[in-house]
Amino acid sequence: MSASSLSDLLASQLPTGLAARARALMKTQAALERSLPAALAGHVRAMQLENGTLSLACDSGAVASRLRHQTDALLAGLGKQGIVAAAVRVSVNPALLPRHPAPAEKHGLPPAALDELAHLNAAIEDGPLKDALARLLRHHRPPR
């Protein structure tokens, strides 16, 4: 099932007023994404447009600060796209930040490579390289 058919299905199950408001908010969000500078796109969400005031939520204070300095240009850009707003209210909502993915599990060096490094370590003279190889081997070899 595609996202558009899923949204149509959900909209058909919602009360009429709520579905219309959701569609209007989605239209406002799309216009907002087109009107924002590239650096801010994806970091700002339209929360509501009521009584000529567009309420926006930003994922960080830095984005909110930049957006507050660009409200006039933003309102002009939104007006060209048919979104009429007289004022913008900006708030910070850190929950909009994307979740960090779990770090990928790294596999250690293969045993053959460790054996070759141990052979090299035994063959070279004392110095910083030998010390570094010894630390590398201690780190990658399991304790015996």
pLDDT band at 116 (very low <50, low <70, confident <90, very high): very high
**Phi and psi at residue 55, in whole multiples of 5°?**
-95, 125
Mean pLDDT of the 84-88 span: 91
Task: Give the chain's radius of gyration (CA, Å).
Answer: 28
Q: Does pLDDT of 1 surpass 60?
A: no
Cα separations (Å) of 4 from 8, 10, 23, 33? 6, 10, 12, 19
* Residue 7, pLDDT above cutoff 70: no
- Give ∠ CA 90-93-96 in degrees, rounded to 5: 120
Q: Is the whole-model pTM more than 0.75?
A: no
Whether residue 24 contacts residue 49, with contact meaning beta carbons closer than 8 Å, is answered with yes
Over residues 108-124, the mean pLDDT reads 91
Q: Are 54 and 71 contacting, i.e. CB atoms less than 8 angstroms apart?
A: no
Domain residue ranges in the chain = 11-96, 111-140
Can you tell me the distance from the alpha carbon of 109 to that of 140, in angstroms, rounded to the nearest whole number? 7
pLDDT tier for residue 21 given thresholds of 50, 70 and 90: confident
Confidence tier at 14 by pLDDT (50, 70, 90): low
Distance of alpha carbon 40 from alpha carbon 117, whole angstroms: 48
Architecture of domain 11-96: 2-Layer Sandwich (3.30)
φ, ψ dihedrals at 38, nearest 5°: -55, -35
Per-residue model confidence (pLDDT) at position 92 = 92
Percent of the chain with pLDDT over 70: 89
